[in-house]
Chains A and B, each alone.
Chain A
């Protein structure tokens, strides 16, 4: 071999060797954090939680990674499950916006920490409404509600029940839009609300493991029929935006009068001026739109498991819980007794007594695909 060839291959090997270790192992004292949530949550972590946590725990850093959406997060979690079986390093320590029942088999494999036995000092403060299996733990909640333009629809005329809402949409064609259910929870939970309406307004009929095609599909279909009936009265006779943010954009441009929106996104949009001060928010009183507490999970095999647990305990402290209300517009994950009294009094009108939830897994999957096949097409948009 000639000298030059040797040099080329030697330097290539050296470059490869320098790159490899970084790719293969998680760094000690660096919490690899993944989320399925939207940008406002990542901003909240970057600007509030990360600096506070790193200041309180010198030497520990937070590596915040956006996994895109829940399917993206599940791909990372599947890696942790595989790593547990092969006793390898999952390169992940903390999952925000997670669900311990997913990916299928993760719970049985025992990949997630049981928080009831993890010895967190703030565990007892958690809001009882958020009670779930002990592998899931929360720190914030939010709910879908209706955001509308009070200059076009006075607050006292805003619909308070599903029947009022349907009547309003039909009486004001082109003034309402929701996003495709798989592209964001505001539209997704609007679709869910229609399905509940068609099935006796009883969310308890839908659980994470009771979907069966022969009984489930007709239940979903009844909800789709309601939505199909609404379609000609939506913006552009049946247009659907591709995300929570795009719906808010249309409301802010005055293209529509009302949209379903996440409470935290709507409140921060009003705060930053994306939505005007004249934006009104209303929740349906016969049965609220779905919402829920965001769940976190921690893999048992993460290199920085101890620090990750410390982080979960940290975000349940009064300091961060208050910031969730004031900075994020969300609900605290702890009981309202554990946030400052001023905040408690200021927000007592929006403190929810119950938050209906929609299960992930098969119901969710069939709701989304069924919507695409039944509600989205079949509309003659030129009519």
Chain B
């Protein structure tokens, strides 16, 4: 929120201070270049530039052709996209009301709700997975409660695509709520009260006053959730079905069990291109924000 002030620190007021500023950003920039940008470039190059039948290196698309002609790989990609899209939608539906409540409610109950909403942040996903099996798994806690009430058992989501979906939504609630809550901070009490004074109902206030200001935060929240879910590993590994797999476990299995590095890297590059779309949304919104304030 105070990007204007921070940019003064790296400003060019004196030579020495500018140098320190550059040194401070140099470390993260070098780290990103070394551990993110370079591997990406190297991955793209390795998958496009491979030895052909004669052993000489040449440009080839064979691993990509294999991926997009292999029904098994495509089913995995499709499941990943399905899980990601559905998770994004469910997260918004679940988190927006929580964030709105936390923005406008005061008092002790709101503090408890906030604590509960942030709680998943502190639960490691492997613990969550085993807890999930105990609660929602076959003959788990839910089944025991249903049985006590003489109701039929549920069809367990464990080992179906719904297992990781439920786990991932729960896991991503804190980050989404926090980002939306930060976005709601921009909405001033005065503007909400002014709208109420002229007779706007709850829904009108939300639709005409709050939502226009929140668009950016929703985009950021969804981008973050999507990036995390697309590349998730533990929850789909433990809770998901054997096939189709999500891209995370699929890549790991291709690389470590089959020793098939070229195809594993190809899967990574394909995942990367799907993620970059949402990464660009995020970058665009940050840049827009900065320009708007600068």
Residues of A with Cβ closer than 8 Å to B? 2, 4-5, 8, 69, 71-72, 180, 182, 235-236, 239-243, 246, 249-250, 253-256, 365, 368-369, 372-373, 376-377, 381
B75 close to A253 (CB less than 8 A): no
- What residues on B are CB-neighbors of A71 within 8 Å? 256-257
- Cα A369 to Cα B243 in complex, Å, equals 11
A239 contact set on B, CB distance < 8 A: 158-160, 241-242
- In the complex, the answer to whether A235 meets B138 with C-beta atoms within 8 Å is yes
Min distance, Cβ B82 to any Cβ of chain A, angstroms: 15
- Which residue of B140, B242, B256 contacts A240 across the interface (Cβ within 8 Å)? B242
**Across the interface, do A180 and B242 meet the contact criterion of CB distance under 8 Å?**
yes
Is there an interface contact between B133 and A249, defined as CB atoms closer than 8 Å? yes
The prevalent SS among residues of B at the interface is: loop
* Partner of A377 from B19, B240, B243 at Cβ < 8 Å: B243
Would you give 11 A-B contacts (Cβ < 8 Å), ordered by A? A8-B23, A239-B158, A239-B159, A239-B160, A242-B237, A242-B238, A246-B238, A372-B253, A373-B72, A377-B243, A381-B160
Is B30 located at the chain interface by the 8 A CB criterion? no
> In the docked arrangement, what's the CA distance between A376 and B258, Å?
17
Enumerate chain B residues within 8 angstroms of A249, measured Cβ to Cβ. Answer: 130, 133, 137
A369 proximity list for chain B (CB < 8 A): 257-258
Q: How large is the interface on B (under 10, 10 to 19, 20 to 34, 35 or more residues)?
A: 20 to 34
Is A182 a contact partner of B133 (Cβ separation < 8 A)?
Answer: no
Question: Assuming the A-B contacts A180-B242, A365-B258, A377-B75, are A255 and B160 also in contact, with contact meaning beta carbons closer than 8 angstroms in the complex?
Answer: no
Complexed CA–CA distance, A256 and B138 (Å): 9
Q: Does B262 sit within 8 A of A, measured CB to CB?
A: no
* Contacting pair A254 B256 (CB below 8 A): no
Contact A253 B257 (CB under 8 A): no
**Minimum CB distance partner of A381 in chain B:** B160
Q: Are B139 and A253 in touch, CB under 8 angstroms?
A: yes
Known A240-B242, A372-B242, A376-B243; contact A255-B138, beta-carbon cutoff 8 A: yes
Per CB-CB distance, the 10 closest pairs between chain A and chain B, nearest first, are A376-B243, A255-B138, A376-B242, A71-B256, A239-B159, A240-B242, A377-B243, A253-B139, A182-B257, A255-B139
The answer to whether the Cβ of B121 comes within 8 Å of any Cβ in the partner chain is no
Interface string of B253-278 (1 = CB under 8 A from A): 10011110000000000000000000
Identify which of B75, B237, B243 gathers the most chain A CB atoms within 10 Å of its CB.
B243
Q: CB within 8 Å of A: which residues of B?
A: 16, 19-20, 23, 72, 75, 130, 133-134, 137-140, 156, 158-160, 237-238, 240-245, 253, 256-259
Bound complex: CA A246 to CA B130 (Å)? 9
Closest chain-B Cβ to A92's Cβ sits at a distance in Å of 19
For A376, what are the chain B residues with a Cβ–Cβ distance below 8 Å?
241-243
Contacts of A368 in B (CB 8 A): 257-258
When C-beta atoms are compared, the residue in chain A nearest to B15 turns out to be A2
Tell me which residues across on chain A come within 8 A of B75, comparing CB atoms. 377
Using Cβ atoms and an 8 Å threshold, which residues of chain B touch A5? Answer: 16, 19-20, 23
> Which chain B residues lie closer than 8 Å to A243 at the CB level?
238
Residues of A within 8 Å of B16, CB to CB, are 2, 5
Distance in angstroms from B284 CB to nearest chain A CB is 35
**Complex Cα–Cα for A48 and B16 (A):** 60
Report how far A255 CA is from B20 CA in the complex, Å: 62
Neighbour of B138 across the interface among A2, A4, A8, A253, CB < 8 A: A253
Residues of A contacting B257 in the complex (Cβ-Cβ under 8 angstroms) = 71, 182, 365, 368-369
CB distance from A210 to the nearest CB of B (A): 19
Cβ–Cβ < 8 Å partners of A69 in chain B: 256
Give CA–CA (A376, B259) in the complex, Å. Answer: 20
Residue with the greatest number of chain A CB neighbours at <10 A, chosen from B75, B240, B242: B242
Q: How far is the CB of B26 from chain A (nearest CB, A)?
A: 12
**Contacting residues, chain A, for B20 (C-beta < 8 A):** 4-5
Shortest Cβ gap from B157 to chain A (Å): 10
Q: Determine the residue in chain B with the shortest Cβ distance to A12.
A: B27
B140 CB contacts on chain A under 8 angstroms: 253
CB distance from B77 to the nearest CB of A (A): 14
Query: In the complex the two chains form, is A365's CB within 8 Å of B137's CB?
Result: no
Query: Which residue on chain B has the smallest CB distance to residue A182?
Result: B257
**A245: nearest residue on chain B (CB-CB)?**
B130
A246 touching B243 by the CB < 8 A rule?
no
Task: Give A183 to B137 CA distance when docked, in angstroms.
Answer: 19
Verify A250–B72 contact, CB threshold 8 A: no
Chain B neighbourhood of A254, CB < 8 A: 139
Query: Which residue of A71, A256, A381 has the most chain B CB atoms within 10 A of its CB atom?
Result: A71
Distance from B76 Cβ to chain A, minimum over Cβ atoms (Å)? 10
State which of A8, A72, A182, A253 has its C-beta within 8 Å of the C-beta of B137. A253
Query: In the assembly, what is the distance between CA of A8 and CA of B130, in Å?
Result: 46
Contact in complex: A236, B160 (CB < 8 Å): yes
Q: How far is the CB of A167 from chain B (nearest CB, A)?
A: 24
Residue in A182, A239, A242, A376 whose Cβ sees the most chain B Cβ within 10 Å: A242
Query: In the complex, A365 Cα to B72 Cα: how many Å?
Result: 17
